[in-house]
A and B are shown apart, each in its own frame.
Chain A
Amino acid sequence: NAGVTQTPKFQVLKTGQSMTLQCAQDMNHEYMSWYRQDPGMGLRLIHYSVGAGITDQGEVPNGYNVSRSTTEDFPLRLLSAAPSQTSVYFCASKVEEKLFFGSGTQLSVL
C-alpha cells in the first residue's frame, strides 16, 4: 500500500455528524477513487476522479461528496452520517491501469 495514505484508520460517529476521510498519494497519479467494502457485497465504487478539478459518481454516491483541488489529495466527505454508512472505506489511485489501494478507514456510525 505504499504511496496511498488514508486517515484516520478508525472513526466512530454519531448519526447526523459530519466528517472527512482523507486520502493522499505521492505518485502523481491522475486517477483516484473511493470504495466502500461491506460483508458479502464486495467493493463498491462511491466516487472517482480522473484529474484535478474532475470528479464523477460511482455506483453508490448518495450521502457522499468529493472534490479534487490537487493531484495529491482526494477527500471524501460525509455531510450527515447515517448508520447505513458504517463500512470500511478504501481509497485507490491508478497508473497504467493498475490500482493501488490505501490501508482503509473503518467507520462506525451509531
Chain B
Amino acid sequence: KQEVTQIPAALSVPEGENLVLNCSFTDSAIYNLQWFRQDPGKGLTSLLLIQSSQREQTSGRLNASLDKSSGRSTLYIAASQPGDSATYLCAVRSSGTYKYIFGTGTRLKVLA
C-alpha cells in the first residue's frame, strides 16, 4: 500500500530564503507525482506535475525533482515571498491505478 509522507509539517522562514520541501513515498512503482498549493479555506491548485520518466519540472521560482529509486521528491522554492505562505501537498499516482495518494502537507509561512 502506497504511503506518502511530508516532513516537516510546518516551516517558517524569512523572506528571500531559498527553501526545500520534502515528499517521501513507500512504493517506487509510480505513474506520476504532483505538487499542490492550498490556501486557507480554499481548494488545491496544481503547481507541478512530474511523470515517472522525468527527473524534474520547473515553473518560475518553483522546481520539483523526483528520485523514484529512493522514493523521494523535493519542491524547491527560490527567493521566497510572503505570498508563498500556504500549505504545500504532494500526491502520488501509483502505476496501474487511478488513485492519487496525498501526503499530509507542509504548512509554510514566509515572514516579511
Contacts and interface: CB of A to CB of B under 8 A. Distances in A.
A35 B43 CA distance: 11
Contacts of A101: 43-45
Given A45-B99, A45-B100, A102 B43 contact: yes
Contact of B89 (A43, A50, A59): A43
Contacts of B103: 42
A58 interface: yes
B101 A45 contact: yes
Nearest to B90: A42
Interface in A7-54: 31, 33, 35, 40-45, 48, 50
Given A48-B98, A48-B99, A1 B42 contact: yes
B104 A41 contact: yes
A99 B46 CA distance: 7
Interface string A56-98: 1011000000000000000000000000000000101000011
Which size class do B's interface residues fall under? Answer: 20 to 34
Nearest to A48: B98
Q: Which bracket fits the contact residues of A?
A: 20 to 34
Contacts of B98: 31, 48, 50, 56
Contacts of A90: 43-44
Given A1-B43, A104-B42, A99 B99 contact: no
24 contacts: A31-B98, A33-B100, A35-B102, A42-B4, A42-B89, A42-B102, A42-B103, A43-B91, A44-B102, A45-B100, A45-B101, A56-B98, A59-B99, A90-B44, A97-B34, A97-B93, A98-B49, A99-B34, A99-B46, A99-B91, A101-B43, A102-B43, A104-B42, A104-B43
Interface of A: 1, 4, 31, 33, 35, 40-45, 48, 50, 56, 58-59, 90, 92, 97-104
